[in-house]
Amino acid sequence: MRRREFLQAGAMGLAGLPLSGKPSDVSCILLMLVGGPSQLDTWDMKPEAPSEYRGPFRPIRTNVPGMEISEIFPRMARHADKYALIRSVYHDGPSFHDSGHQLMQTGRLHEDLEHPHPGSVLSMLQGAESVVLPFPIGNTGGNMTHGQGAGYLGSEYAPKFIGAGHSGSAASAGYGNSQFGQSCLTARKLVESGTRFVTVNMFETVFGETTWDIHGSAPFSPISCYRDQVGPMFDQAYSGLLEDLSQRGMLSTTLVVAMGEFGRSPKINPSGGRDHWPHCSTIVMAGGGIRGGQIYGSSDRNGAEPKEHPVNPAMIAATIYSALGVPLSTALPGPSGSFIPVVEPGARPITALFS
C-alpha cells in the first residue's frame, strides 16, 4: 500500500482497526528537561539515605498530604494536587543523552530506523499541527538524532521549529523571564489556538551551559545550580503553566508531561555531582485526564532502581497516545511498504494515572 493509499484509507484503518480512537480534544505540551534531572534532588528524595546518596537539599511538604518534593520547588509544592509523580521510570538503553532523548520521546531506540516523534504521528493520523520550541536539541555528545523528527513518516510530518520571544504581558510574569519560561507561555498560546502537540526543549546542549546535567565539573554543571538557577527556572515556568491552564479551563484537555532523558547516579561522585543513570528516574504528568496529587510507582531506598510498578519508555508513549485518542493498535506506514506498530507490541498505558 503506497503512502497516498494509506492516507486515503483514513478511518477505515488497517486490518479492520480504526486509525483514530474515541474522539479526543486533548492536546499535549511536552517539556523536555534536557540534561537528565536527578531524581534524588527533585521529586524522589531520600532523606534517610546515607549522606553520599541523599544530596544537599531537603524535602518540603506539598499541598497533598504525604507527598514531599525538593525545597528547590517551593511554588510547585503548592500545586501538587494538579500533577502526578511517576517515581519508577527506567530504560535499558545506553546512558547517552541522545539515546535517552529517543527512547523517552518515541518509546523506542533508533538503531536501524528513526522512529517518529508523537507530534509527527498525530500530524499524520489526525492532521494536527506539531511544534517544537524554542530551538532543536543540539550537540549532547552522541552525534545521534534526538527523537524529535518525523522519521520514516517523512519530512512532511516533521514538527515545526519556532522561536519563543518575550511576551511582555502581565501573564508573562507568572512564567518568569527565562527563555524556558517564555517558551512555556508560547506553548500555552499555541495550544489555545489549536496546536495539538507542543514540545519545549528546556536547554539546547549540556556543554558549557547550566543544565540538569550535574556531573559536578566543567564543562558540566554543579549540583548547586539546582538551587541557584535550574530549579527556580523550572519551578516558576512549570507552576505558571499549570496555573494559567487551570484558570483558563484548559488543564483538563491539555496533557503536560515533564521528563528528562534519564535520572542521575544515586551516589554522589568525587566531583560532588551525579552521573548518568537510566536505571531510575522520576517524571511528572498533569492535565489531560491525569488525576493530580498521586504518586505512581516507587524506587528503592537509595533511588537506584524501581521498587514497585516499573515504567519504561514504551509505557510512557502508550500513555501519551491513549490520552490523545490514538489507539495502540494503530500501524504506521514504514519503509518499503512495511507497517510498524505505533508502540512496542505489548506496551500498555498507565491507566492508574487516570482513575
41: which 3 cell numbers?
Answer: 534532588
**Peptide linkage before 219 cis (omega within 30 of 0):** yes
Give me the pLDDT at residue 172, please: 74
**264 contacts: CB under 8 Å, gap ≥ 6:** 36, 37, 38, 39, 40, 41, 214, 274, 275, 276, 277
Q: What is the pTM (predicted TM-score) of this model?
A: 0.93
Q: Strand 59-61 and strand 68-70: pairing?
A: antiparallel
101 CB-side CA count, 13 A: 32
How many whole angstroms from its chain centre is CA 81? 19
- What CA–CA distance (Å, rounded) separates 198 from 183? 10
pLDDT of residue 170: 61
Residue 339: strand pairing partners: 333
Residues 6 or more apart whose CB falls under 8 angstroms from that of 324 comprise 24, 26, 27, 28, 118, 122, 196, 197, 255
Rounded distance between C-alpha atoms, residue 185 and residue 242, angstroms: 10
Q: Could you give the residue ranges of the DSSP H alpha helices within the chain?
A: 3-9, 51-54, 97-106, 118-126, 170-173, 179-192, 225, 231-247, 313-323
89: which 3 cell numbers? 521510570
Cα 187 from Cα 193, distance rounded (Å): 10
Partners of 133 in the beta sheet?
Answer: 200
User: Strand 281-286's sheet: what is its strand order?
Assistant: 160-161, 130-133, 197-201, 27-32, 254-259, 281-286, 83-89, 294-296
In this predicted structure, what is the pLDDT of residue 171?
61
Residue-level pLDDT, tens digit, the chain, 355 residues:
444 444 434 433 433 233 334 558 999 999 999 999 999 999 999 999 999 999 999 999 999 999 999 999 999 999 999 999 999 999 999 999 999 999 999 999 999 899 999 999 999 999 999 999 999 999 999 889 999 999 999 999 999 999 876 656 666 789 999 999 999 999 999 999 999 999 999 999 999 999 999 999 999 999 999 999 999 999 999 999 999 999 999 999 999 999 999 999 999 999 999 999 999 999 999 999 999 999 999 999 999 999 999 999 999 999 999 999 999 999 999 999 999 999 999 999 999 999 7
